[in-house]
Amino acid sequence: MPEGDTVWNTARVLHRALAGARLTGSDFRVPQLATTDLTGWTVRESTSRGKHLLLRLAAPDDAHWTLHSHLRMDGVWRAYAPGERWSGRPAHLIRVVLRSPGAVAVGYHLHELALVPTAEEDRLAGHLGPDLLGPDWDAAEAVRRLTAHPEQTIGEALLDQRNLAGVGNLYKCEVLFLRGVSPWTPVGAVPDLPGMAALAQRLLAANRGRWTQSTTGSLHRGQTSYVYGRRAQPCRRCGTAIRKQELGERVTYWCPVCQPEHPSDLPPG
């Protein structure tokens, strides 16, 4: 699942493949960019902000532009050597191909694909809260934004990218387990929000540079999470069956014993 660390890794892959290169061709397969041709444009850098990917380019007239994309649940960028077989996904999912002398970058099932002046990047990513993996991570500002809506459940607040950028469903579930907080707890009743934000930042940072996401320290299959994806399996701490239930738009996983504030009238997950 693409969370902040996955997007950060993807940005690095694209940066290694394309930064400094002059594009020899482009092929956009989305209506809004169907007539766009980036041939002759130079890739300045690839970076991420929260879950948004920002590929910064210089046009032949040296104007600076940003190709924005979002992976949501299913998007992926791959970089291939010239002539290498594209093995990422079925061809009908390709949304853009960028060719350079040294690499071909292929974006599959990308969302919110847009080309905007770099000076206007904030139109697409400016609403985001502090980026957990950004150079400007600001824990105090993240806490300030979280506490602005004290009645919201912490499970929903952690996913709201306007509060802090980069947490997806996996890290949400895992952070709440590790802090012993029920996902249904109102933000205003959560003890030590700064500690929770700091833990989220550490977990994402620990998974930078690899594609396996682990919050337990183990990279073995089936042992990489405490609660996420473990419905009905025993809690690694207390042995109670992990529960799963809808919370807002996403399912959430939790241990009813280790995260005790869960309302008692909810049916067992």
Q: How far is the CB of 263 from Zn ion (least distance, A)?
A: 17
Q: How far is the CB of 226 from Zn ion (least distance, A)?
A: 9
* Residue closer to Zn ion (CB basis): 199 or 258: 258
| Cβ nearer to Zn ion, comparing 72 with 231 | 231
Q: Rounded to the nearest whole angstrom, what is the least distance from the CB of residue 225 to Zn ion in the complex?
A: 13
Residue pair 68/54 in contact (Cβ under 8 Å)? The answer is yes
Enter the tokens of residue 79: 């970089």
Which of 117/234 has CB closer to Zn ion? Answer: 234
Residues engaged in binding Zn ion (CB under 5 A): 235, 237-238, 240, 255, 257-258
The answer to whether 269 and 244 are in contact (CB under 8 A) is yes
Our CB check for Zn ion shows the closer of 72 and 236 to be 236
Known catalytic residues are 2-3, 51, 250
First to last CA, the chain: 22
Q: What distance in Å separates the CA atoms of residue 184 and residue 156, rounded to the nearest whole number?
A: 9
Asked if residue 190 lies in contact with residue 181, where contact means CB atoms within 8 angstroms, the answer is yes
CB of 197 to Zn ion, least distance (A): 23
Provide CB contacts within 8 A for 247, sequence distance 6+.
Answer: 153, 155, 156, 183, 184
